[in-house]
Amino acid sequence: MAGDASLRLKRLLLGTRGGRLALMAPRALMAMRAARVAPRLGQVLAWSVRSREIANFTYETTRESQLVLAAVVAEIANRPPSEIVGYINELAADRELAEHVADVARAPESRWSVDPGFKPGRRLAFYLLARALKPRRVVEAGVDKGLGALLVSRALTLNRAEGHAGDYLGIELDPSKPIPLYERWPDRVGQIIRGSSTDILRKQAAPIDLFIHDTVPEAGHMTEQLATVRLLMAPVGVIASTWTTPELINHALQHGLKLLTHQEETMDHWFPGDRVAFIYGHGGAASDSDKCVTSLDTHV
């Protein structure tokens, strides 16, 4: 009997205009719960008060997100996943880097712009690639406060201690922006040049083993930058981009390159995370089946 009544009610709700109207409020509540609107709002409010950032956010990612990233990097670098997980743990245990970020955040010139927590976010991908690929030459376009530059420096220093030499070039458009996280790191590797990344890349000689695209996702800039850097990439070189845009996807498709992406899952932060893209296979593929673009999406 009760079952019949509930069935009739369900038919009424899903079969009439009145039912559709009556379902609007419960539907909105269900969606708000699933989309975690209330917790997100709490995170927005807490962050607005606590953070000093207005762009290029720092945030932590979940362990699951990091492990999926490790699997993607292992595939690209052709290394065992356990090795990449070792690099994740190595960075998480790096007290010197964490203390350096806290020191910079305390310094008078950056105390109102740099958050004190050591939260690599998407730069974890840059660190893992720098450790796994043992690149001889890393170029990062878009440096900002230098968190990526700091992590790449650390990776290259550790690589050197293991017998793999590598150098770093950062390119930053803003002629006067302070880059304290990199500039104040005593063991920094390489240098930073100020100017437009495409202009400076045109003057570079090949090969680049790891190129980090972290400038802006504007379509014209991405197309020009990718076209410029393609001619410089080592056959085993990897491009890591903060953004998986249509221009980046077209670039990989047009040139028969491999493409993998990783959607970050952030922790205790309103920021949804970046969809980081990796382009590789610049030396061509070994077999016909490898020649197509591999777009293996790795959502967590």
Ligand X SMILES: C[S@@+](CC[C@H](N)C(=O)[O-])C[C@H]1O[C@@H](n2cnc3c(N)ncnc32)[C@H](O)[C@@H]1O
Residues that bind ligand X (CB under 6 A): 56, 123, 140-144, 147-148, 171-174, 177, 196-197, 214-216, 221
Diameter of the chain measured on Cα atoms:
81
* Cβ closest to ligand X, residue 197 vs residue 244: 197
- Would you state the structure tokens that stand for residue 138, as one six-digit string? 């890393």
The alpha carbon of residue 132 and the mean position of all alpha carbons in its chain are separated, in whole angstroms, by 16
Least Cβ distance, residue 218 to ligand X (angstroms): 8
* Cβ closest to ligand X, residue 68 vs residue 276: 276
Give backbone dihedrals phi and psi of 222, rounded to 5 degrees, phi first: -65, -45
* Cβ closest to ligand X, residue 70 vs residue 114: 114
Reported as half-sphere exposure (CB side, CA atoms, 13 A), residue 38 has a value of: 7
Under 8 Å between Cβ of 220 and 245 = no
Rounded CA gap, 77 and 47, in Å? 36
Least Cβ distance, residue 134 to ligand X (angstroms): 21
Q: Pick the closest to residue 243 from 229, 256, 230, 262 (CA basis).
A: 262
* Cβ closest to ligand X, residue 143 vs residue 226: 143
Least Cβ distance, residue 141 to ligand X (angstroms): 5
Closest-approach residue to ligand X (CB): 148
* Cβ closest to ligand X, residue 64 vs residue 174: 174
Least Cβ distance, residue 150 to ligand X (angstroms): 8
What are the C-alpha distances in Å from 144 to residues 72, 141, 183?
26, 10, 11
* Length of the chain counted residue by residue: 300
* Cβ closest to ligand X, residue 171 vs residue 229: 171
Least Cβ distance, residue 174 to ligand X (angstroms): 4
Least Cβ distance, residue 278 to ligand X (angstroms): 16
Helices 24-34 & 37-50, crossing angle to 10 degrees?
Answer: 50
Least Cβ distance, residue 140 to ligand X (angstroms): 6
Q: Pick the closest to residue 103 from 46, 186, 176, 47 (CA basis).
A: 186
Under 8 Å between Cβ of 150 and 105 = no
* Cβ closest to ligand X, residue 56 vs residue 191: 56
